[in-house]
Structures are given as C-alpha cells and as structure tokens.
Amino acid sequence: MADILLEVQQLTKSFGARKVVDEVSFSVRQGQTIGLLGPNGAGKSTTVNIICGLLQADRGCVKLSGQEMSAGNNQAKQKLGLVPQDLALFEDLSARENLKIFGALYGLSGNRLQTRCDAVLELVSLSDRAKDKAATFSGGMKRRLNIAAALLHEPELLILDEPTVGVDPQSRNAIFDALELLKSQGRSLIYTSHYMEEVERLADHIVIIDHGKLIANESPVDLFKRLPAQAALELQLAQALTAQQLQKMQQQAGVIKVESKDQDLQLAISLNDGGHALGLLNYLQSEGIQILHFATAKTNLEDVFLTLTGRSLRD
C-alpha cells in the first residue's frame, strides 16, 4: 500500500456561530487522485484553504509528508501546488514572464527556472504562446497557465479548485490530458469540481463534505454500492403490459423496481446489475410485447452525490 502523503485530522472551523467544517478527516496516498465534492456552502473551500495553510483551523491539523501545514511552515508549503478557482495571473506579462515570477517565489532561478518553464508550458500545450501576453489568452488558456504556474516547483501534491470553470471544450480536454499524464507519473492530486463526470473520470477515491461534515470517504466502486440500483433500463412499448405481466416483470432476476407512465407504455426499470437487462428484453419478447425503443444506463457519480446531499438548491 502506498505511503500516506497528506493527513487531514479532525479539522474544525467556525465563523462566528456557524460551524463551517466539523471534524473532517481523510488522507491522500502517494499517487492517489482524490475527488473532493460538496454542494455550495458545504465547507469544501474552507477545507481546501486550511489544507493549503491559507486559513487556520480552530481544531485539528494537516500534515504533508509528515510536516504540519501552517501559515509559517514554508518548507511544508513548498511540497504543495495550488490551482485556485480565481485566476492569479499578471495580464500585462507574457506567459513565460508570468512563470518566471511564480518560479522566483518558489526559489527557482537560472537554468533550472528556464527548464521548468519549458516543461510546464509543454505540458499545458502553451509552448507556442509563451511570448504572448496573458491578456490575449482565452479563459481556457489562462486556466492552463495557472496550472503550469502551480507545477513549476514540482510539488508532491497538486490541489485544483474548479480548474475547468468557464473553459471551452478544447481547453478542458487539454487540461485533462495534462492531469492524466501527471497521474501516470505518480503525482498526487486533489480535484474539486461541480462537474461530476470530470471527477468520475479522474478520481480513484471520493471525499464528500456536506454541512461541514464528512459524509463519504471511499472508492467510486464502494460509493456506488450505496445506491440499491446499479443500472437502469428504459423502455418504450407498442402496447401496455397487463397487470399480470407487470407483476411477472417485478419478479424477474435483478429487478429492483418497475415504474410505469404514459398509460403503461413507458417503463423505467431499476436493476442491481446491468447484466440483467438482456434477460428482461428476452422475457418481453417471449410475451409478444413489441419494444419501440430501449435505452440502458449505469449509476453515475451524480446519482450518488444527489442521493447523499439532496436535490434542493444550494444558493
């Protein structure tokens, strides 16, 4: 088992009478990608700020490679790279000039700085725009430059806070290509996003915070097991099933629930395994039921997230 890189232990933070983070604990192992999720106002951003040493917890601690992360511990901070949600760039400077400034803040200089600038520009596909001012970049290019800046000092842990907000599809793909390359190199990542498909694609472990409390801390596979239905089958029929046929369908292998609508011409069937869909289709065929259209679907991270945190708006 890989060594633990980051330890978050019993973090608690209040603002006035409101407890924003309430006894949150989790860890990140070497080479692991954590998807950190939570509705608006859940305490996710506060947790990230405490991890980065930008905010002090009321109780609890954060350790990175065994060193406690605090406002004054620059040695620990050197091991971490942060890609903030708000862009942090000098608009009137070129991409390379931006990187040189950030590199100097990390203590890089000379050939080492030049080499790292070249490497991170290549990683985020901005080498051909290195001399152009950041003000001329699209939103997606600025996001990629922000990622490059966070990687200059080769941090052991990279934290990305909503890195694809407002970017075009091409930049999103470029960001994912870069992050997947970092994963393949054994880099540890914490990725926060409201785009569940992004987290599902990248993360091998999920942490969900809601109302300041940790409500999930497990692999995607284990998380999906929290829902009774692992798959679904949606059917459009030429004729409605009889009550007896509906009852028999409920008794078929793997069926959890059958919901009918549109005068029983549409069926939504929850299954505990996608492999049972074919058996149901064969059953309907044996009953002489004509199927006009069918579609299958699997449980995804958004289904689990909404089940655990609720569907009401969080503004």
pTM exceeding the 0.85 threshold for the entire prediction: no
State the pLDDT confidence band at 116, using cuts at 50, 70 and 90: very high
Q: What is the pLDDT of residues 234-281, one digit of tens each?
A: 889 988 888 888 888 888 888 888 888 887 788 888 888 777 888 888
Return the minimum-mean-pLDDT range out of 135-144, 207-216, 289-298: 289-298
Q: What is the pLDDT of residues 164-198, one digit of tens each?
A: 888 888 888 889 999 999 999 999 999 998 889 89
Pairing relationship of beta strands 4-15 and 231-237 according to DSSP bridges: unpaired
Structure-block tokens of residue 314: 């969080």
Asked if pLDDT for residue 86 goes beyond 60, the answer is yes
Q: How far apart are CA 125 and CA 141, in angstroms?
A: 9
Region 131-136 average pLDDT: 96
Tell me how far the alpha carbon of residue 268 is from its chain's centroid: 29
| Rg from Cα positions in the chain | 24
Whole-number pLDDT of residue 263: 79
Pairing relationship of beta strands 33-37 and 188-192 according to DSSP bridges: parallel
Whole-number pLDDT of residue 73: 65
Whole-number pLDDT of residue 2: 65
Whole-number pLDDT of residue 313: 58
Whole-number pLDDT of residue 315: 60
The helix (run of H) or strand (run of E) holding residue 121 is helix 110-123
DSSP-assigned beta bridge partners for residue 9: 61
Q: What is the pLDDT of residues 21-39, one digit of tens each?
A: 999 999 999 999 999 999 9
- % residues pLDDT > 90 (the chain): 53
For the domain 231-298, what is the CATH code? 3.30.70.100
Residue 70, number of CB atoms within 10 A of its CB: 14
Q: What is the pLDDT of residues 198-236, one digit of tens each?
A: 999 999 999 999 999 999 999 998 988 887 767 888 889
Name the average pLDDT for the chain: 89
Domain boundaries, the chain: 4-224, 231-298
Decide if domain 4-224 falls under CATH 3.40.50.300.
yes
Task: Annotate 211-247 with b (16+ C-beta within 10 A) or e (fewer).
Answer: ebebebbeebeebbeeeebbbbbebebeebbeeebee
133 vs 251, higher pLDDT: 133
Whole-number pLDDT of residue 93: 96
